[in-house]
Amino acid sequence: GIRDTDSAQDFQKKLCKAKRMIVIGNGGIALELVYEVEGCEVIWAIKDKAMGNTFFDAGAAQFLIPSLEVEKPEKTLPCKRARYTIERAVNPKAGSLDHGSALGPDWHQGISLRGAEEVSHNVHVE
């Protein structure tokens, strides 16, 4: 699963070769993944009656479903939030259990979330 910046980069390496993926869960990272991933069939498995029920009600979820089926608009405005990064040690210890930093609101910026197919969005909610 995607937990931190390192696991997000590992996911990116696998996604670039993928034609189909499954997202299990209805949390914030799952919502962002389902919306942001392109070029790959996405099967989204949720146990709830509506997507994103932690964040909005079923009516809002129904309103947002069409946005999963259309091509995303171009992003023209830059993000003006403060961004924090970490510098890696020059000689990290072999076998170190250090992981990347926690994911923030812009975790997918600078990461290509594109699969191997030519389709824009192809999401199935189960």
Residue pLDDT, tens place only, 41-98: 999 999 988 888 888 899 998 898 888 887 777 766 666 666 656 566 555 555 555 5
Q: Taking all residues of the chain, what is their mean pLDDT, rounded to a whole number?
A: 76
Q: Which fold has domain 5-125?
A: FAD/NAD(P)-binding domain (3.50.50)
Residue 62 phi, psi (nearest 5) = -60, -40
- Token pair 């919502």 in the structure block, residue: 31
pLDDT at residue 43 in the model: 92
d(CA 54, CA 102): 20
Cβ pair 43, 126 in contact under 8 A: yes
CB contact burial 15-38 (16+ within 10 A = b; e otherwise): beebeebebebbeebbbbbbbebb
pLDDT at residue 97 in the model: 54
pLDDT at residue 88 in the model: 61
pTM over 0.95: no
